[in-house]
Amino acid sequence: MQQAGSTIEARTSDSAPGEIWPFTVTLATPAIGAYVSDIDLRQPLDEPTYLALRRALIRYKVLFFRDQDITPAQHVALGQRFGKLEVHPVIAHHPDHPELVVFDKSDKKRGRENIYHSDVSWREVPSMGSILRCAECPPTGGDTIWVNMALAYENLPAEVKARLEGLIAVHDLMPLFGSMLPPEQRITVRAQNPAVTHPVVRTHPESGEKLLFVNEAFTTHFSNYAEIAGYRFGFDLKLAEMDLLQYLFRQAAAPEYQVRLKWEPHTIAFWDNRATQHYAVQDYYPAVRRMMRATIIGERPV
């Protein structure tokens, strides 16, 4: 499906001259995102289509598919084609498919995903990617924004990049998810999911890009800021650390790095969690918005 004002790449890829892709790609923005058409995700992906989709994902960072009326079982199978799927410890699951989390929002349950984040960055081995399908969309609103975190890092001032060398950040699920749990479950989830550390700047394992890998949902602080920055006074150190972290968080809010999707029923978004952050706009309450997501396990960030 061609979007107004976009550029069609047809069935070729300028990243590999002469390569023919078994689907059509339509750019969403110059910075990030592409619409993929002439593909039926109800069918198992053959090897050439799988490899081409993986290359497209790495290049565009988020892929959008319209009119894909797939079943939950087909959704799981699509995700498993790209790797092992995780089971989320907090968010509700599909009754027949624990690998599918269900975001079921209505006048009885307001959405709360309106914060820039990378899915499950709080895991020791975070996500490679997520596949989200709209089962029931609000008549208006409920868009999702994705951010190119390679561009966010690339455009940082040189002096900021120098300050980030060797910095390690702490990621934790409890500040966001702990409030959703009763006290007894909170203790169990905490024990099973301790806070973890990841480099502030990670290297994409497939593209080699440098990526800014902190997010305001799950990153709590730097684990080695005093070691890197040097110590003067305690208050001076902590304020400087907080200022730097907040500055890095704000990079995701730059429109120049973003793409915004207006959902329609049976639309699917497939994004690279290593290279992006996203934000679900909560402007549709009290309308119904029902989504299902499969999340593919990735690799330890380096």
List phi, psi (to 5°) of 109. -145, 105
- Catalytic residue status for 221: no
CB atoms under 10 Å from CB of 83, counted, come to 15
CB 220 within 8 A of CB 170: yes
Selecting among 117, 123, 133, 202, the annotated active-site residue is 117
Q: What gap in Å lies between CA 252 and CA 258, rounded to an integer?
A: 8
- Catalytic residue status for 59: no
Calculate the alpha carbon distances from 42 to 39, 72, 75 in Å: 9, 10, 8
Selecting among 97, 119, 133, 198, the annotated active-site residue is 119
The number of C-alpha atoms within 13 Å of 51 and in the hemisphere containing its C-beta is 6
Q: What gap in Å lies between CA 289 and CA 255, rounded to an integer?
A: 25
- Catalytic residue status for 293: yes
Selecting among 97, 163, 204, 293, the annotated active-site residue is 293
Selecting among 123, 163, 204, 278, the annotated active-site residue is 278
Give which of 251, 285, 300 is closest to 109, Cα–Cα. 285
How do 258-261 and 219-222 pair as beta strands?
unpaired
- Catalytic residue status for 119: yes
Give which of 280, 285, 288 is closest to 143, Cα–Cα. 280
Task: Specify the residue for token string 């990670």.
Answer: 202
Burial class (CB in 10 A: 0-12, 13-18, 19+), 188: exposed
* Catalytic residue numbers, as ranges: 117, 119, 278, 293
